[in-house]
Structure 1
Amino acid sequence: MDPKLLLMMAVSVVAAVGGAAADYVRPLPRKALQFPWSPKHSSYPQQVHVSLAGAKHMRITWVTSDKHAPSIVEYGTSSGTYTSTAQGESTSYSYVLYSSGIIHHTVIGPLEDNTLYFYRCGGEGPEFQLKTPPAQFPITFAVAGDLGQTGWTKSTLDHIDQCKYDVHLLPGDLSYADYIQHKWDTFGELVQPLASARPWMVTQGNHEKENIPLLKDGFVAYNSRWKMPYEESGSNSNLYYSFDVAGVHTIMLGSYTDYVEYSDQYKWLKADLSKVDRARTPWIIVLFHVPWYNSNEAHQGEGDDMMASMEPLLYAAGVDIVFAGHVHAYERSRPVFKGKSDPCGAVHITIGDGGNREGLAYKYIEPQPEWSIFREASFGHGELNMVNSTHAFWSWHRNDDDEPVRSDQVWINSLFSSGCLAKKS
């Protein structure tokens, strides 16, 4: 290994030891953002975002108010020159007195890896550009959950925009619409500058449920607007799926759909993990909304049932890192399993501090559990740089006076390279 890399690892490990953060003056909540109405032509594409859609393909999603607007995407590798066209599908939904616009989903590809593409939605409107992820290491993920639409959300998005990332991972609680459907539209407008340029891979949180007993099933807006590659991964639900990118197998699970043994999600997860080829994807990371390892007073015990059901599957498969949201604070564990540190367990990271309107969860349980190595109630985002098949560098950047401050960092070794999988087999 490169001597410089070894030195950085050593320094990072020393810096990470020491447990909880020093005293820190936590920022106050910020007000909800205001979105002045800006009239646009009925076929003008709005709320544009992209997501991965199987090998070498990406899904472009946008909204129009014209029900006759075509679901086509023109694209190419030169600005203004579109050498390919893809035809997609459209949907819409109603919710009490609200009627959505026409939501278009169009898959483009096959695409070249690590390449800049220019595209146009519906045959008119502005040109957008996206960059496809690399096929090999290194690859960088930006991670932020519980975003909402506040001033802190805007600060977090600005900091993520400064990060040279390839894919954004969001472990639930996107818009905080909470039944007020037009807030899904303003959220789409807010994230469009980032989400139209890099794939955003999301899973649902409690604020996406929006069910009304006897009137509306849950997740209608979420499933209509944020279609993920569940079909491509053999899932029968948009609430859980997986995808491969640059040597990383990523699994997105649903905390709010059935997860008990023999449920559809459990059976799908077991089958999905059994198909992972660690020689091709040496890393496995998992995201869901409700944390299993949480020493914050907020949401204590809410993930226990899911953990009892699914943690043995993740442990047996050698999952490396687990991300969760829900708790509005940051926490990183040691490798852990069954409530205790275990060198062959996953590192659990709670990162539900993207900028939500409910404020921070600043009360932690004392004494700090032995598995908890760093915790802090601040808004921020994380960056996961998968350097190669054996080493990844994780850093968490709190929003401090509108400057991203690296407050926690650590090198993580893959379990595939550590010999743990051989011990479990």
Structure 2
Amino acid sequence: MGRKIPDLVLVLCIFSAAVAADYVRPQPRKTLDFPWERKPSSYPQQVHISLAGDRYMRISWVTDGKSSPSYVEYGTSPGRYDSTAQGESTSYSYLFYSSGKIHHTVIGPLEGNTVYFYRCGGEGPEFQLRTPRAEFPVAFAVAGDLGQTGWTKSTLDHVDQCKYDVYLLPGDLSYADYIQHRWDTFGELVQPLASARPWMVTQGNHEDESIPLIKDGFQSYNARWKMPYEESGSSSNLYYSFEVAGIHVIMLGSYTDYDEYSEQYNWLKADLSKVDRSKTPWLIVLTHVPWYNSNYAHQGEGDGMMQTMEPLLYAAGVDIVFAGHVHAYERSKRVNSGNPDPCGAVHITIGDGGNREGLAHSYKYPQPEWSVFREASFGHGELEVVNSSHAFWSWHRNDDDEPVRSDQLWITSLKSSGCLTQKQHSLRKILMAP
């Protein structure tokens, strides 16, 4: 007769088996290996696009040749370019690494929901992009903490299957982590998607490559991923805003000063004061570090920024706040000051794009009252803003087919709920404060 298993151990075994049956944590994956291929010095590489103000788009690419031109030819028919735009270029050195020539060219004005064909620097293949719609409905794909692993590739494959106008990335792009050629391989990995739809990104901790000899820890990120900060009145590429149809999107910087005396905070006040909610009924914010997080990973890291900025976002009537950093998915109720509030924002942590560090699977119990759904899986989200009052959010696991929705929610805008009328006085008071 075998030895009797103690009751407590038996219970724990049964519980562990049940948990394992429910979800098996994927193992961390190494960074993908990319074959090196010699190309002509003026051949455009790492092509990606971003919004650059109303009806304008920025085309960015890299060439090995330092004398390569920075112009873009474009038009609405394949191989026929009736417009040309001249841009700018930059480069940088980081210890023993020297970047290629990094080009940024703004094209436009462009028509909404229109396919344009373009060529960079008169060399290489023809690319095509579709501009976002100028009116509702508008769709966003969302996933942070991408990296360049097998899970990243799976996420990108899923995103490629969904119909979206703009991709939103709340920080941690390449996971280069000081190894500069990984910025290049990341650019090549995302080019098929990023050259066809605008990618709007903000910085994460893995973009900060500070060392004693390098004054600007974000020089690689800033040089390669130029966002419309100047167009939105910001003095830093680490925070900016843009609009798509009736949606105002604010990208905040978790790794630059954010206290009440900072340039970012003052810019945010000025930016919010310009938002006309009768024309842009939706207000969305992205930041890297989540303010509402019931995972043990990075617990409390967003508290300082939340304490400073949440009153301002609450008074302005922000509808949704997306964050990354935690390698898992979590969605909240409308919340403010740590408590459910029908006039607060829905907070969504979606740092589940791929990375190389694995998933953050340890959650705090009991689950907070404000937390609705949480799971440690790789995936992406889709936000379809249907009209001025309603948007549909869905989250999709990589382990499932893209059409499968693992979490979903209809969101009613605060503009249509009556909350903004109640907040007008408090917002004016905050915006007028010195």
Match of 2:88 in 1: 89
Alignment of 1:215-230 (within 5 A): 215-230=214-229
Q: Does structure 1 conserve the Cα–Cα contact (< 8 Å) formed by 2:29 and 2:357? A: no
After TM superposition, give the deviation of residue 188 of structure 1 in Å: 0.1
Match of 1:307 in 2: 306
Is 1:204 paired with 2:234?
A: no
Deviations 1:289-339 (A, max 9, x none): 000000000001000000000000100000000000000000000000000
After TM superposition, give the deviation of residue 24 of structure 1 in Å: 2.4
Q: Secondary structure at the match of 1:157?
A: helix
Q: Does structure 1 conserve the Cα–Cα contact (< 8 Å) formed by 2:161 and 2:402? A: no
Please give the alpha-carbon distance, in whole angstroms, between the structure 2 residues aligned to 1:82 and 1:169: 29
Please give the alpha-carbon distance, in whole angstroms, between the structure 2 residues aligned to 1:42 and 1:386: 42
Q: Does structure 2 conserve the Cα–Cα contact (< 8 Å) formed by 1:29 and 1:152? A: no
Q: Does structure 2 conserve the Cα–Cα contact (< 8 Å) formed by 1:63 and 1:101? A: yes
Residues 164/350 of structure 1: CA separation in 2 closer, same or farther (3 Å cut): same
Match of 1:168 in 2: 167
Whichever of the two has the greater Rg, that structure is 2
Match of 2:146 in 1: 147
Q: Secondary structure at the match of 1:310?
A: helix
Match of 2:391 in 1: 392
Give the TM-score normalised by the residue count of structure 1. 0.94
After TM superposition, give the deviation of residue 396 of structure 1 in Å: 0.3
Q: Does structure 1 conserve the Cα–Cα contact (< 8 Å) formed by 2:162 and 2:402? A: no
The amino acid across from 1:138 in the alignment is P
Match of 1:341 in 2: 340
Deviations 1:140-190 (A, max 9, x none): 000000000000000000000000000000000000000000000000000
Please give the alpha-carbon distance, in whole angstroms, between the structure 1 residues aligned to 2:290 and 2:227: 22
Is 1:60 paired with 2:59?
A: yes
Please give the alpha-carbon distance, in whole angstroms, between the structure 2 residues aligned to 1:362 and 1:377: 5
After TM superposition, give the deviation of residue 246 of structure 1 in Å: 1.1
Deviations 1:225-254 (A, max 9, x none): 000000000000000000011100000000
After TM superposition, give the deviation of residue 404 of structure 1 in Å: 6.2
Please give the alpha-carbon distance, in whole angstroms, between the structure 2 residues aligned to 1:422 and 1:45: 50
Q: Does structure 2 conserve the Cα–Cα contact (< 8 Å) formed by 1:285 and 1:320? A: yes
Deviations 1:243-274 (A, max 9, x none): 01110000000000000002000000011011
Match of 2:43 in 1: 44
Match of 1:291 in 2: 290
Q: Does structure 1 conserve the Cα–Cα contact (< 8 Å) formed by 2:334 and 2:344? A: yes
The amino acid across from 1:166 in the alignment is D
Match of 2:429 in 1: none
Alignment of 1:9-408 (within 5 A): 23-400=22-399, 405-408=404-407
Q: Does structure 2 conserve the Cα–Cα contact (< 8 Å) formed by 1:175 and 1:184? A: yes
After TM superposition, give the deviation of residue 124 of structure 1 in Å: 1.2
After TM superposition, give the deviation of residue 406 of structure 1 in Å: 1.6
Deviations 1:347-400 (A, max 9, x none): 000000000000000000000000000000000000000000000000000111
Q: Does structure 1 conserve the Cα–Cα contact (< 8 Å) formed by 2:72 and 2:105? A: yes
Please give the alpha-carbon distance, in whole angstroms, between the structure 1 residues aligned to 2:133 and 2:261: 36
Please give the alpha-carbon distance, in whole angstroms, between the structure 1 residues aligned to 2:220 and 2:309: 27
Structure 2: gaps (5+ residues)? 1-20, 425-434
Please give the alpha-carbon distance, in whole angstroms, between the structure 2 residues aligned to 1:351 and 1:408: 12
Please give the alpha-carbon distance, in whole angstroms, between the structure 2 residues aligned to 1:391 and 1:265: 30
Deviations 1:271-295 (A, max 9, x none): 1011100011100000010000000
Q: Does structure 2 conserve the Cα–Cα contact (< 8 Å) formed by 1:273 and 1:317? A: yes
The amino acid across from 1:98 in the alignment is Y
After TM superposition, give the deviation of residue 45 of structure 1 in Å: 0.2
Q: Secondary structure at the match of 1:417?
A: helix
The amino acid across from 2:184 in the alignment is D
After TM superposition, give the deviation of residue 213 of structure 1 in Å: 2.1
The amino acid across from 2:200 in the alignment is M
The amino acid across from 2:218 in the alignment is F
The amino acid across from 1:80 in the alignment is G
Give the TM-score normalised by the residue count of structure 2. 0.92
The amino acid across from 1:61 in the alignment is S
Q: Secondary structure at the match of 1:218?
A: coil
Deviations 1:55-77 (A, max 9, x none): 00000000001111100000000
RMSD across aligned C-alpha pairs, in angstroms?
1.2
Please give the alpha-carbon distance, in whole angstroms, between the structure 2 residues aligned to 1:349 and 1:33: 28
Residues 385/403 of structure 1: CA separation in 2 closer, same or farther (3 Å cut): closer
Q: Secondary structure at the match of 1:134?
A: coil
Q: Secondary structure at the match of 1:268?
A: helix
Residues 304/199 of structure 1: CA separation in 2 closer, same or farther (3 Å cut): same
Alignment of 1:399-418 (within 5 A): 399-400=398-399, 405-418=404-417
Q: Secondary structure at the match of 1:406?
A: coil
Please give the alpha-carbon distance, in whole angstroms, between the structure 2 residues aligned to 1:215 and 1:265: 22
Q: Percent of pairs identical after alignment?
A: 82
The amino acid across from 1:378 in the alignment is S
Match of 1:3 in 2: none
Q: Aligned pair count?
A: 405
Deviations 1:3-31 (A, max 9, x none): xxxxxxxxxxxxxxxxxxx9323333333
Q: Does structure 2 conserve the Cα–Cα contact (< 8 Å) formed by 1:59 and 1:106? A: yes
Q: Secondary structure at the match of 1:421?
A: helix
After TM superposition, give the deviation of residue 402 of structure 1 in Å: 6.9
Residues 308/227 of structure 1: CA separation in 2 closer, same or farther (3 Å cut): same
Please give the alpha-carbon distance, in whole angstroms, between the structure 1 residues aligned to 2:338 and 2:402: 35
Q: Secondary structure at the match of 1:361?
A: coil
Please give the alpha-carbon distance, in whole angstroms, between the structure 1 residues aligned to 2:60 and 2:167: 16
Deviations 1:87-130 (A, max 9, x none): 00000000000000000000000001110000000011100000
Structure 1: gaps (5+ residues)? 1-21
After TM superposition, give the deviation of residue 39 of structure 1 in Å: 1.0
Match of 1:7 in 2: none
Q: Does structure 2 conserve the Cα–Cα contact (< 8 Å) formed by 1:103 and 1:225? A: yes
